[in-house]
């Protein structure tokens, strides 16, 4: 054994290995406890579901990092040795496993920069869905087709992420409809508003906007209707779009409001 290797080896106190393992086991049980507590609290207080999940994510993140750091620190004979060797190991780790190190550092940035949080509906590249968890190395997103996508945290440092609700339960939804330019827009606005208000998913504490714009689509002129309304929770986005579209089509048919025809 070389002199350097002997110095590194002698800096460890393996008599405290059991204590380090106990710290990790306790941390694992604590993480499971907080997860179960989070599930119970979200059921008991559904209005605060996102805040509870976000708080538990931060707690688990700190618990994981802190327990690993403490378990490793306990193995060293002195604080000076711990700092010196930990620095050397950290440098070697950063060089030899730069992708993992980048993900770990990115996890800290994602967690505390709060560009998005657990429960947010986000769009990242071709991925669109709800943030299930933000871990030390990666973030798990559930897409609208119920697939689970795991994204390394380092990916978020180089690409923009759009959050539809920014930590809130409610979110704004846009529904697009089209009518002929010669249509009575006052009547159309009334029908579209009624379709939105009558939905069980709409959040009436926030305003509903209906906007009109003439566009050329394909080879014809049409009037584009943009409905902007808020839903109670992000999970109701597609249901709200479907309900409003169905009600508007039925109302347009009843009032003989023609849809654009042709190459559309």
d(CA 1, CA 89) in angstroms, rounded, equals: 19
pTM of the predicted model, to two decimals? 0.64
- The pLDDT of residue 173 is above 90: yes
**Across all residues in the chain, what is the average pLDDT?**
80
Identify whether the C-beta of residue 129 lies closer than 8 Å to the C-beta of residue 116: no
- The pLDDT of residue 154 is above 80: no
Model pLDDT for residues 77-126, shown as the tens digit of each residue:
555 555 555 555 555 555 544 555 566 666 666 666 667 888 889 999 88
Length of the chain: 264
- The pLDDT of residue 210 is above 70: yes
- The alpha carbon of residue 192 and the mean position of all alpha carbons in its chain are separated, in whole angstroms, by 31
- The alpha carbon of residue 139 and the mean position of all alpha carbons in its chain are separated, in whole angstroms, by 8
The proportion of the chain whose per-residue pLDDT surpasses 70, expressed as a percent, equals 75
- Give the β-pairing of 148-152 and 162-163: unpaired
Domains of the chain (ranges, CATH numbers): 3-96 (no CATH), 121-163 (2.30.30.60), 171-254 (3.30.70.100)
Q: In what order do the strands lie in the sheet with 171-179?
A: 171-179, 220-231, 209-217
Residue 11 has what pLDDT? Answer: 55
- Confidence band of 202 (pLDDT split at 50, 70, 90): very high
d(CA 172, CA 101) in angstroms, rounded, equals: 36
The packing angle between helices 49-74 and 17-44, to 10°, is 180
d(CA 132, CA 119) in angstroms, rounded, equals: 6
Residue 244, Cβ density class (10 Å: 0-12 exposed, 13-18 middle, ≥19 buried):
buried
Q: Which residue has the higher pLDDT, 261 or 24?
A: 24
Q: Which of 85-94, 109-118, 155-164, 170-179 is predicted with the least confidence, judged by mean pLDDT?
A: 85-94
d(CA 207, CA 117) in angstroms, rounded, equals: 25
- The structure tokens 């709200």 sit at 240
- The pLDDT of residue 148 is above 60: yes
Residue 191 has what pLDDT? Answer: 96
- The pLDDT of residue 205 is above 70: yes
Model pLDDT for residues 4-30, shown as the tens digit of each residue:
444 555 555 666 778 878 888 888 888
Dihedral angle at the C-alpha atoms of 127, 129, 133, 138, nearest 10 degrees? 0
Q: Which residue has the higher pLDDT, 7 or 177?
A: 177
């Amino acid at each position: 054994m070389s002199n350097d290797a002997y110095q590194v080896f002698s800096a460890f106190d393996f008599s405290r290995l059991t204590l380090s393992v106990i710290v990790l086991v306790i941390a694992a049980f604590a993480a499971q406890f907080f997860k179960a507590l989070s599930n119970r609290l979200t059921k008991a207080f559904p209005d605060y579901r996102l805040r509870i999940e976000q708080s538990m994510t931060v707690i688990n993140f700190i618990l994981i990092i802190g327990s690993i750091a403490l378990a490793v620190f306990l193995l060293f004979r002195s604080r000076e040795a711990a700092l010196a060797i930990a620095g050397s190991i950290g440098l070697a780790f950063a060089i030899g496993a730069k992708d993992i190190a980048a993900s770990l550092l990115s996890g800290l940035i994602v967690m505390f920069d709060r560009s998005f949080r657990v429960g947010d509906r986000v769009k990242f590249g071709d991925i669109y869905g709800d943030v299930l968890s933000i871990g030390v190395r990666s973030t798990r997103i559930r897409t609208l087709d119920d697939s689970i996508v795991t994204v390394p945290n380092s990916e978020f440092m180089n690409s923009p992420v759009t959050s539809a609700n920014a930590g809130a339960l409610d979110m704004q939804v846009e529904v697009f409809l089209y009518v002929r330019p010669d249509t009575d827009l006052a009547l159309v606005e009334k029908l579209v508003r009624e379709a939105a208000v009558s939905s069980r998913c709409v959040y009436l504490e926030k305003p509903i906007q209906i906007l009109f714009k003439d566009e050329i689509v394909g080879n014809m002129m049409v009037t584009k209707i943009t409905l902007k309304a808020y839903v109670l929770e992000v999970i109701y986005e597609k249901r709200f779009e479907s309900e409003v579209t169905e009600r508007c089509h039925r109302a347009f048919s009843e009032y003989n409001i023609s849809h654009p025809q042709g190459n559309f």
